[in-house]
């Protein structure tokens, strides 16, 4: 009987209390030995730091009265990690604060839509360590010589910052010539301080003759950064492997969910409650963080736009989290209920009846006792691991959480979300699921625990597997507790331990509100425990748990009954597919219209970058690159090689030119002085930073640039600026530049361990044809030692114009957010339609899975086809094995995503149009085939004519086009360039009819009236146009383009395609013909052959379809 506490129960409770007491004593006593704490001297509060910063800025003559202030606690985590790993915690503590100023209060003052802003940083011990005054690029100021500017910087450094120049060694200078002033930045390093090859640096920036900023930081050696990145990559990759297994688990949960939906075995109310809690907590937490996000406010936005974006982001995050928890609960609960019949239902745990059961009392006590036990386990584990060389970063005894409106909201969220999501995935679902297929319960517990454990491996602890082992062992133990006591104890434990760790900073506060709220939030599970105890003491008995047990839950509705729609949720009537062949009259009119539209091709106009051609294949370009590299004396055979095709138009620069000049100016600039596309060959070695990138012209293979990337510690010369500039000028001449038409605008130098590097930026002189209004043509040359290592040509866009283009108002942000909301609403409604269909009538998934598998297979082949350029993305900080694993996992996840997207889309299509598979199989579709082929051909020709007419009109108003497109070649570097286009064609054949069907469903079934449909379409057009446009003429242009494009699509559907499903499939597939045209237009015979192959494949597919239809017709 479970009505009273027995001696065994009392012994159990006593054991839990004893375990908790001992564990708490061990955990508290040794906590800081296992998890050492960084030492921070909080002599200055955030408000005091603000006052000190204000005084400094006011002393320089600036009034901050009209500025909006924000502040945040910051530190450089890379510096912290470097010092702790190199010096150990004790050694790091000795240098942090003197001289390394790590812990800082950062203050920022801004005004909306203005670039000018102030930032000042004060350490927690009260020292002003950085200041920045951002001003417009065009702001006036003095034009000092370098020597005079340096004297001013040194005077400020000594007189106002109190630095001793004798203790500093000059390192580098950077000079930038602005339109109305010259800026200088000078850097020094501390002479008598070094940690390995790391030095402490100071800099002062002058804007004209005014101090524009200063700061100090630890310059970490590049070699250490690369080694640490390689070390961390093992953590990230291990975590990614485990995350992939978790995603496969979620995929299994998705299958289980739909099985439960079909069997009417989903507890919707339970899932909705958990989802609602997740939504509410996430929304409150996101809004609660507003004081922190305000520090990153972008001054190109109005503040109203910023707040609107934050609100939309908060709502989106809350909805995503709520849907996730809803799904996980709905998917895990049926399996838990089915396999653990004698446990209390998930939905019954915290009900009034559940609180009155003995199982709830004992489970809650156990879960709470597990919290200090886990704490003690972690403490002992890491103390032991440290003896074997394990390492972890020091704990930071501060969190910005204390500067939010309601700090304890984050405690509740961090407690709730991991507890529910991880326990439902890794315990409630994974253990019974794995047990079902692996047969051995202990194997299921171990595998589920280790997957869950190693999903935490991306933490910074070293070695990379230590965190996975620690959490994995705990996962196995928790798994066995789950089997014995059910889900309640793991849930209580997981919530409490995460909430406790999150609230530690609040417990340490001197603010009683923080302490009390932290205690209530972290100890939340004590409240239902107290209620359960009071109820038991008052009533002297527990409630009978039998009605709450899983085995007492109502069984699923029998299959026969489930096949019929319920009265409460009638199945939506699906539109019929009665088909009437195209009449000869309509075809005649359509042909006539198309023939007339061919006249549009007589309209001639010039498009931006339409001259781009490719005469070299990847192999030929690579051979040219090898020749150019070996001409410099480098041995190309000593490197790994990958060649890729790169498009590099400067969209902002082109837009600026088109607002002021013609397309011809853009094309001349990109034909003579820049390249829109080029072949790039990368020469590299695995694990080494040094590499070459050789760019050649795609038509003749002439050299465009050679970039030589060197390691920071590589040896080289230490030249004066004049010597290095002479080398840079000579390098420009070698590339054919007329140096007399260029003037130096920026220069900088940096002293590295074994050389000095220089950077020079030259600009076309005033009146040069390469300059357009205030846009400037520039060339940057980098010198490493005495070797020119790179050359880069670019367009310098005026800053004020670019900021104007990037400005965002509240209206624009709201419109963009509204578009996202509409898309999300359609997706959610589609999922609801899918679930309703599965629940009421079911779906035959096997043919849909086959189609999804075909799509995933094309993605696989596309991935394999792109292996020719996979090394383009290789980060030389990683080992080859790590890189290979991440690529494989990315492919697996991508394939799953593609397959699931196709399957979901097909499921939705089946929900809306259940007889679509029969439509594609039926013999009566033979006349549809004729209409589909003829109709699609007419639509394609008309579309090309329409696009040409649209391009002609756009060329007359191109300055008002907010979304420029260039149509440059792509995918030419793959083994088979046509394959990607073929894959897109297959995707088009799947998704075009689905999208068309969805639009048709909404117009006919949801909206119903044509007038409302037109209004809805115009509304979408207004939203899209308003979200993209910067000026009113751009808004009108975008809106008219949208309306005319939609008008063309509607006309094609109503007059030609109609309800011919096969036509939409063909239309989506033959979209590959655009690739046939683009590949065929290239001069390289190899690409023309690719175009021919692609065209032949399209014709073969159409012929096979016709042949099969003919066979079906004969059979019928």
820-831 pLDDT tens trace: 999 999 999 999
pLDDT, mean of residues 522-546: 92
* pLDDT in the model for residue 723: 96
Sign of CA dihedral 371, 377, 383, 385: negative
State the residue for tokens 């041995």.
635
* pLDDT in the model for residue 562: 39
Sign of CA dihedral 767, 772, 773, 776: negative
Q: Assign 107 to helix, strand or coil.
A: strand
Peptide bond into 99 cis (omega under 30): yes
Confidence check: pLDDT of 1113 > 70 = no
* pLDDT in the model for residue 1071: 87
* pLDDT in the model for residue 571: 46
CA distances from 607 to 403, 651, 771, 1078 (A): 54, 14, 20, 15
For 205-236, what is each residue's pLDDT tens digit? 999 999 999 999 999 999 999 999 999 999 99
CB–CB of 679/621 below 8 Å?
yes
Nearest CA-CA partner of 691 in 226, 192, 18: 226
Q: Return the percentage of the chain with pLDDT > 70, whole number.
A: 96
For 466-512, what is each residue's pLDDT tens digit? 999 999 999 999 999 999 999 999 999 999 999 999 998 888 887 88
- CA–CA separation, 322 and 421 (whole Å): 11
In this structure, what token pair is assigned to residue 938? 């007419």
pLDDT, mean of residues 999-1010: 89
Confidence check: pLDDT of 1030 > 60 = yes
* pLDDT in the model for residue 1: 57
pLDDT class of 578 with cuts at 50, 70, 90: low
Q: What angle do CA 446, 451, 454 make, to 5 degrees?
A: 115
Q: Which residues contact 295 (CB under 8 A, 6 or more apart)?
A: 70, 71, 72, 106, 108
- If residue 17 lies in a helix (H) or strand (E), which one and from where to where? helix 7-34
For 609-625, what is each residue's pLDDT tens digit? 999 999 999 999 999 99
Confidence check: pLDDT of 923 > 50 = no
Confidence check: pLDDT of 559 > 70 = no
Lowest mean pLDDT: which of 379-383, 724-728, 889-893?
A: 889-893
* pLDDT in the model for residue 186: 95
- CA–CA separation, 734 and 259 (whole Å): 70
Distance from CA of residue 1035 to its chain's centroid? 29
For 1077-1097, what is each residue's pLDDT tens digit? 999 999 999 999 999 999 999
For 429-477, what is each residue's pLDDT tens digit? 999 999 999 989 999 999 999 999 999 999 999 999 999 999 999 999 9
Plot region of 982 (φ>0 → left; ψ -120 to 50 → alpha; else → beta): alpha
CB–CB of 71/106 below 8 Å?
yes
- CA–CA separation, 59 and 211 (whole Å): 12
pLDDT, mean of residues 525-543: 92
CA dihedral 519, 523, 527, 532 (to 10 degrees): -150
Confidence check: pLDDT of 263 > 70 = yes
Q: Which residues contact 167 (CB under 8 A, 6 or more apart)?
A: 190, 191, 192
What angle, 0 to 180 degrees and rounded to 10, lies between the N-to-C axes of helices 1061-1069 and 926-956? Answer: 50
pLDDT, mean of residues 919-937: 74
- CA–CA separation, 265 and 276 (whole Å): 20
- If residue 531 lies in a helix (H) or strand (E), which one and from where to where? helix 526-539
Strands of 685-754, DSSP E: 691-696, 703-709, 742-752
* pLDDT in the model for residue 574: 45
Nearest CA-CA partner of 486 in 421, 440, 424, 556: 424
In this structure, what token pair is assigned to residue 970? 């792509």
State the residue for tokens 């023309």.
1088
* pLDDT in the model for residue 398: 78
Domain chopping of the chain, boundaries: 7-36+226-392+410-562, 46-168+180-214, 581-602+924-1116, 618-804
CB burial of 736-751 (b: ≥16 within 10 Å; e: otherwise) equals: ebeeeebeebbbbbbb
Q: Assign 391 to helix, strand or coil.
A: strand
CA distances from 192 to 77, 96, 334, 975 (A): 24, 16, 67, 56
pLDDT, mean of residues 796-801: 94
* pLDDT in the model for residue 626: 97
DSSP state of 558: P
pLDDT class of 582 with cuts at 50, 70, 90: confident
pLDDT class of 1115 with cuts at 50, 70, 90: low
Confidence check: pLDDT of 573 > 70 = no
pLDDT, mean of residues 567-578: 47
Confidence check: pLDDT of 418 > 80 = yes
- CA–CA separation, 742 and 629 (whole Å): 27
pTM of the model: 0.92
Confidence check: pLDDT of 561 > 70 = no
In this structure, what token pair is assigned to residue 156? 């400020």
pLDDT class of 540 with cuts at 50, 70, 90: confident
Q: Assign 292 to helix, strand or coil.
A: helix
pLDDT, mean of residues 338-367: 93
- Determine phi and psi for 561, rounding to 5 degrees: -75, -30
3-state secondary structure 350-373: CCHHHHCCHHHHHHHHHHHHHHHH
Q: What angle do CA 476, 482, 486 make, to 5 degrees?
A: 175
* pLDDT in the model for residue 939: 92
DSSP state of 43: -
pLDDT class of 1028 with cuts at 50, 70, 90: confident
In sequence order, the β-bridge partners of residue 708 are 692
CA distances from 897 to 244, 456, 887, 900 (A): 12, 23, 15, 5
* pLDDT in the model for residue 564: 41
Task: Output 160-163 pairs: Cβ under 8 A, ≥24 positions apart.
Answer: 161/128, 161/214, 163/202
Q: What angle do CA 121, 124, 127 make, to 5 degrees?
A: 55
pLDDT, mean of residues 703-709: 96
Distance from CA of residue 275 to its chain's centroid? 24
Confidence check: pLDDT of 557 > 80 = no
Which alpha helices (DSSP H) does 970-1031 contain, by range? 977-1001, 1010-1028
Q: Which residues contact 538 (CB under 8 A, 6 or more apart)?
A: none
In sequence order, the β-bridge partners of residue 132 are 119, 213
CB–CB of 788/727 below 8 Å?
yes
Distance from CA of residue 504 to its chain's centroid? 30
Confidence check: pLDDT of 963 > 80 = no
pLDDT class of 554 with cuts at 50, 70, 90: low
- CA–CA separation, 107 and 726 (whole Å): 43
3-state secondary structure 801-849: HHHHHHCECHHHHHHHHHHHHHHHHHHHHHHHHHHHHHHHCCCCHHHHH
Confidence check: pLDDT of 1034 > 50 = yes
Confidence check: pLDDT of 421 > 90 = yes
* pLDDT in the model for residue 921: 66
pLDDT, mean of residues 701-719: 95
| Biggest alpha carbon–alpha carbon distance for the chain | 99
pLDDT, mean of residues 906-915: 90
DSSP state of 775: B
- If residue 1069 lies in a helix (H) or strand (E), which one and from where to where? helix 1061-1069
CA distances from 580 to 928, 993, 1001, 1058 (A): 9, 18, 20, 9
In this structure, what token pair is assigned to residue 225? 């950064």
């Amino acid at each position: 009987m479970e009505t009273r506490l027995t001696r065994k129960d009392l012994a159990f409770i006593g054991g839990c209390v004893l375990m908790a007491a001992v564990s708490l004593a061990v955990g508290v006593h040794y906590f800081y030995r296992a998890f050492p704490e960084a030492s921070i001297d909080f002599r200055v509060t955030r408000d005091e730091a603000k006052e000190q910063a204000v005084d400094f800025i006011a002393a320089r003559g600036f009034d901050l009265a009209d500025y909006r202030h924000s502040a945040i606690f910051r530190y450089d985590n890379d510096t912290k990690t470097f010092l702790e790993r190199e010096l150990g915690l004790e050694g790091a503590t000795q240098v942090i604060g003197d001289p390394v100023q790590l812990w800082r209060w950062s203050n920022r003052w801004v005004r909306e839509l203005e670039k000018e802003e102030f930032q000042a940083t004060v350490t927690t011990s009260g020292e002003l360590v950085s200041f920045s005054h951002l001003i417009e690029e065009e702001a006036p100021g003095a034009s000092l010589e370098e020597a005079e500017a340096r004297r001013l910087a040194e005077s400020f450094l000594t007189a106002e910052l109190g630095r001793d120049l004798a203790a500093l060694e000059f390192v580098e200078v950077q000079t930038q010539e602005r339109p109305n002033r010259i800026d200088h930045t000078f850097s020094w390093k501390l002479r008598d301080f070094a940690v390995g090859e790391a030095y402490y640096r100071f800099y002062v920036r002058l804007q004209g003759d005014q101090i524009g900023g200063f700061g100090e930081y630890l310059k970490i050696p590049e070699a250490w950064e690369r080694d640490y990145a390689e070390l961390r990559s093992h953590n990230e990759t291990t975590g990614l492997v485990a995350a992939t297994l978790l995603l496969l688990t979620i995929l299994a949960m998705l299958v289980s969910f739909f099985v439960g939906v079909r069997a009417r075995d989903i507890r919707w109310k339970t899932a909705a409650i958990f989802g609602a809690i997740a939504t509410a907590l996430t929304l409150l937490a996101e809004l609660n963080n507003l004081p922190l996000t305000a520090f990153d406010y972008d001054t190109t936005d109005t503040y109203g736009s910023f707040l609107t974006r934050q609100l939309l982001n908060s709502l989106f995050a809350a909805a995503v989290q709520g849907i996730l928890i809803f799904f996980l609960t709905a998917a895990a609960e049926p399996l838990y209920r089915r396999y653990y019949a004698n446990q209390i239902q998930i939905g019954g745990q915290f009900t009034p009846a559940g609180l009155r059961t003995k199982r709830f009392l004992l489970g809650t006590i156990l879960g709470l006792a597990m919290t200090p036990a886990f704490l003690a386990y972690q403490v002992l584990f890491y103390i032991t691991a440290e003896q074997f060389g394990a390492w972890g970063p020091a704990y930071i005894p501060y969190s910005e959480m204390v500067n939010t409106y309601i700090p304890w909201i984050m405690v509740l969220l961090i407690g709730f979300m991991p507890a529910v999501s991880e326990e439902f995935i890794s315990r409630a679902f994974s253990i019974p699921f794995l047990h079902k297929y692996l047969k051995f319960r202990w194997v299921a517990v171990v595998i589920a625990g280790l997957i869950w454990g190693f999903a935490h491996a991306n933490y910074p602890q070293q070695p990379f597997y230590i965190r996975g082992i620690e959490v994995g062992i705990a996962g196995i133990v928790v798994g066995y507790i789950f089997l014995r006591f059910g889900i309640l104890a793991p849930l209580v434990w997981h919530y409490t331990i995460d909430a406790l760790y999150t609230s530690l900073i609040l417990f340490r506060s001197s603010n009683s509100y923080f302490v009390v709220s932290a205690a209530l939030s972290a100890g939340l599970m004590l409240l239902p425990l107290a209620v359960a105890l009071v109820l038991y003491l008052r009533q002297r008995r527990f409630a009978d748990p039998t009605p709450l047990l899983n085995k007492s839950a109502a069984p699923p509705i029998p299959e026969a009954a489930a096949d019929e729609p319920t009265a409460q949720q009638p199945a939506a009537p699906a539109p019929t597919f009665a088909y009437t062949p195209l009449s000869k009259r309509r075809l005649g009119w359509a042909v006539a219209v198309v023939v007339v539209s061919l006249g549009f091709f007589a309209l001639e106009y010039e498009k931006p970058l339409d001259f781009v051609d490719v005469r070299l294949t990847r192999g030929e370009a690579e051979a040219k690159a090898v020749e150019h590299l070996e001409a410099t004396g480098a041995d190309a055979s000593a490197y790994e090689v990958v060649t890729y095709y790169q498009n590099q138009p400067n969209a902002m620069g082109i837009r600026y030119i088109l607002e002021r000049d013609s397309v011809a100016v853009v094309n001349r600039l990109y034909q003579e002085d820049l390249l829109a596309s080029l072949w790039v060959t990368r020469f590299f070695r695995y694990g080494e930073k040094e590499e070459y990138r050789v760019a050649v012209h795609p038509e003749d293979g002439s050299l465009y640039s050679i970039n030589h990337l060197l390691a920071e510690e590589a040896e080289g010369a230490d030249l004066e600026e004049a010597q290095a500039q002479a080398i840079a000028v000579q390098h420009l001449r070698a590339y054919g530049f007329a140096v007399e038409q260029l003037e130096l605008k920026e220069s900088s130098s940096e002293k590295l361990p074994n050389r000095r590097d220089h950077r020079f930026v030259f600009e076309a002189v005033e009146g040069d044809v390469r300059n357009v209004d205030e846009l400037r043509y520039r060339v940057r040359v980098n010198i490493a030692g005495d070797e020119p290592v790179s050359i880069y040509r670019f367009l310098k866009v005026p800053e004020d114009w670019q900021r104007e283009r990037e400005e965002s108002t509240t209206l624009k942000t709201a419109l963009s957010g509204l578009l996202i909301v509409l898309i999300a609403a359609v997706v959610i409604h589609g999922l609801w339609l899918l679930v309703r269909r599965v629940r009421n009538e079911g779906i035959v998934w096997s043919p849909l899975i086959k189609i999804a598998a075909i799509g995933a297979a094309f993605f696989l082949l596309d991935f394999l086809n792109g292996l020719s350029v996979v090394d383009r993305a290789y980060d030389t900080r990683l080992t080859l094995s790590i890189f290979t694993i991440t690529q494989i996992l990315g492919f697996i996840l991508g394939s799953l995503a593609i397959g699931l997207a196709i399957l979901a889309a097909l499921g939705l299509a089946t929900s809306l149009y259940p007889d679509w598979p029969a439509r594609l199989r039926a013999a009566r579709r033979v006349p549809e085939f004729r209409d589909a082929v003829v109709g699609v051909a007419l639509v394609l020709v008309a579309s090309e004519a329409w696009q040409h007419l649209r391009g002609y009109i756009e060329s007359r108003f191109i300055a008002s086009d907010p979304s420029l497109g260039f149509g440059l070649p792509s995918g030419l570097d793959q083994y088979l360039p046509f394959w990607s286009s073929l894959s897109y064609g297959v995707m088009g054949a799947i998704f075009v009819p689905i999208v068309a069907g969805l639009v048709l469903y909404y117009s006919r079934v949801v909206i119903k009236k044509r007038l409302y449909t037109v209004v809805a379409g115009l509304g979408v057009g207004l939203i899209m146009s308003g979200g993209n446009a910067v000026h009113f003429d751009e808004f009108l242009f975008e809106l008219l383009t949208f309306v005319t494009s939609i008008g063309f699509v509607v006309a094609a559907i109503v007059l030609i395609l109609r309800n011919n499903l096969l036509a939409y499939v063909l239309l989506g597939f033959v979209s590959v013909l655009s690739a046939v045209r683009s590949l065929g237009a290239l001069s390289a015979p190899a690409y023309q052959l690719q175009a021919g192959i692609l065209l032949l494949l399209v014709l073969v597919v159409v012929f096979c379809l016709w042949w099969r239809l003919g066979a079906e017709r004969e059979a019928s």
